[in-house]
Amino acid sequence: MSDDSRPSRPEPRTALRTAAVIPAAGRGVRLGPGAPKALRTLNGTPMLIHAVRALAASRAVSLVVVVAPPDGAPEVKSLLDAHALPDRTDFLVVPGGESRQESVRLGLDALPPDYDIVLVHDAARPLVPVDTVDAVVQAVRDGAPAVVPALPLADTVKEVEPAAAPGDPEPVLATPERARLRAVQTPQGFDRTVLVRAHETVTGAVTDDAGMVEQLGERVVVVPGHEEAFKVTRPLDLVLAEAVLARRRLNDGF
């Protein structure tokens, strides 16, 4: 095969700077009554601080933009000041919006110009391991416009006709082949220009940023996710998160 006929590989882009946007403006309705979810504590430390530390643990990440509850930016700034965070990382706090999508866009608007790679990470995934963060950054540096960490599913999934009234039986429409399905986590990593274009042009219901990039027709790739990157959504997830932290303390010899 001559050089000209080889498929072109994107150049690795090691010099690019990486920022992380952490949407943390949700109420946490499914977790039950209480403070906004990101401000609730796991082993005495706010979930948001765990998430910020998890992203700042990556040497690739030099800026973290926290998107606070709409009226909670001063409180979040105080929280960041009150907790030990790496000196090499810069932090910004901006108020969020009504939907996750709007909160991410407000975080993107706050990014200084000199960042080319953007990670978007749910504050509600406080325990993502640094190796997962680094794998996502590396895949973007290697040329993928959009990268999502994901895991195979344990359950079989059914597509249904949603119930007309709560509690009604739901007719099953299809059973997608499980081996081809992945449960998608964060951080999701992007070429900044692609993500900004997605947020400027895609409207309608989307549940993740990569889904918006897919609608642009851009390539989105999956890298292995991690069990500990689960989303704290319901009360049982708090129990699991504290158990993971306890196991980590045991393994670290504390």
Ligand X SMILES: Nc1ccn([C@@H]2O[C@H](COP(=O)(O)OP(=O)(O)OP(=O)(O)O)[C@@H](O)[C@H]2O)c(=O)n1
Contacts to ligand X by CB under 6 A: 23-30, 37-38, 67, 96-100, 103, 122-124, 231, 233
Our CB check for ligand X shows the closer of 30 and 247 to be 30
Task: Looking at residues 156 to 215 of the shown chain, list those that interact with ligand LQXTBERG (rule: CB under 6 A).
Answer: 184-186, 207-208
Selection from ligand LQXTBERG, ligand X, none that 101 binds (CB < 5 to 8 A by kind) is none
- Stated as kind and residue range, the H or E segment containing 212 is helix 209-215
Q: Which residues contact 14 (CB under 8 A, 6 or more apart)?
A: 141
Our CB check for ligand X shows the closer of 141 and 199 to be 199
166's tokens: 């709560």
95's tokens: 């108020």
Secondary structure of residue 252 in the 3-state scheme:
coil
Our CB check for ligand LQXTBERG shows the closer of 37 and 141 to be 37
- Residue 188 CB, shortest distance to ligand X, in Å, is 12
Selection from ligand X, ligand LQXTBERG, none that 98 binds (CB < 5 to 8 A by kind) is ligand X
Selection from ligand LQXTBERG, ligand X, none that 229 binds (CB < 5 to 8 A by kind) is none
Which of 196, 66, 183, 60 lies closest to 133 in space, CA to CA? 60
Selection from ligand X, ligand LQXTBERG, none that 89 binds (CB < 5 to 8 A by kind) is none
236's tokens: 């049982």
Q: Which of 93, 122, 218, 220 binds ligand LQXTBERG (CB under 6 A)?
A: 122
Phi-psi region of 143 (alpha: psi -120 to 50; beta: other; left: phi over 0): left
Our CB check for ligand LQXTBERG shows the closer of 22 and 137 to be 22
Count of residues that bind ligand LQXTBERG according to CB under 6 A: 8
Alpha helices in 40-124 (DSSP H): 47-56, 73-82, 100-109
- Residue 189 CB, shortest distance to ligand LQXTBERG, in Å, is 13
Query: Site mask, ligand LQXTBERG, residues 60-99, x = CB under 6 A?
Result: ----------------------------------------
Q: Which long-range contacts (CB under 8 A, 24 or more apart) does 217-222 make?
A: 218/145, 218/146, 218/194, 219/144, 219/145, 219/146, 220/144, 220/145, 220/146, 220/147, 220/148, 221/139, 221/144, 221/146, 221/147, 221/148, 222/147, 222/148, 222/149, 222/150, 222/182, 222/184
Taken in order 237, 238, 241, 246, the sign of the CA dihedral is: negative
- Stated as kind and residue range, the H or E segment containing 189 is strand 188-191
Our CB check for ligand LQXTBERG shows the closer of 57 and 184 to be 184
Which value, in Å, is the radius of gyration of the alpha carbons in the chain?
19
- Residue 203 CB, shortest distance to ligand LQXTBERG, in Å, is 17
Residues lying near ligand LQXTBERG in the complex (CB under 6 A): 100, 122, 184-186, 207-208, 231
